[in-house]
Amino acid sequence: MQVALVDLDTNTGEKLSAELNAKYGSDRTAFIKCNVTKEAELEHAFSHTFKLFGRLDIVANNAGIAREPDWQLVIDINLTAVVAGSRLAITYMSAPHGNGGVIINTASMGGLIPMPYAPVYAATKAAVIQYSRSLGQAHENIRVNAICPSFTDTALVAEGKTMLPTVFGEVVAATGPLLSPELIATSMIAIVEDDSKNAAVMRVTNARGVDYQSYDGFLNKSTPLTPKL
């Protein structure tokens, strides 16, 4: 397996790429600097990855922020970039470039429950969930799933605790210890490897562990409202 690490943080990205190449073999990973809100940079990240590795099988749209005062940037990173990244992924996973693949979009439990202290963030994550479920039913040979972690030990949560210490303290106390990034990564791999999962929404929480959101509606889940695109 070969992996492209796409991020805005050059120092961390290049360091991680070097560590992974040293551990798993040279040229197994490549770091590509990218601001996901810039269309040209995102397109370059995909085209350069395809040029380096010759194929694209899995895409994880994982960038996210939770700075409510910068609400437009929250939308641009958390939602618009996910849509743009998914569309590019479909391009490179479809003929003549590819023959299918898997897209995993990072949402949040905040997309399933109210977050009065972060309404814009919650709205973007809810949109990612519904976008992933809908897109998953729109294409043959391309599975699209969303993962919804609870509070995880990341820089995003650390920033939130600094900005809203009382609120985050109360919420984390109610939901349990912060989840580990390793648990989220393992869960991502599981949903990618499970061929039966498409248009699925995985939840990762202290209360339930790893499970899937159930949708029991009037419409059969396997029957899309529109033809395949």
The Cα-based distances of 77 to 101, 133, 152 in angstroms read 23, 19, 19
The Cα-based distances of 174 to 109, 148, 153, 178, 202 in angstroms read 14, 17, 16, 11, 21
Interatomic CA distance for residues 52 and 29, integer angstroms: 10
Give catalytic residue positions: 121
Query: Reading across the β-sheet that carries 101-106, which strands appear in turn?
Result: 58-61, 101-106, 142-149, 201-205, 209-212
Helix pair angle (81-93, 39-53), 10° resolution: 30
Instruction: Report CA torsion sign: 217, 218, 223, 228.
Output: negative
Residue 170 CB: number of other CB atoms within 10 A? 12
- 74 within 8 A of 29, measured Cβ to Cβ: no
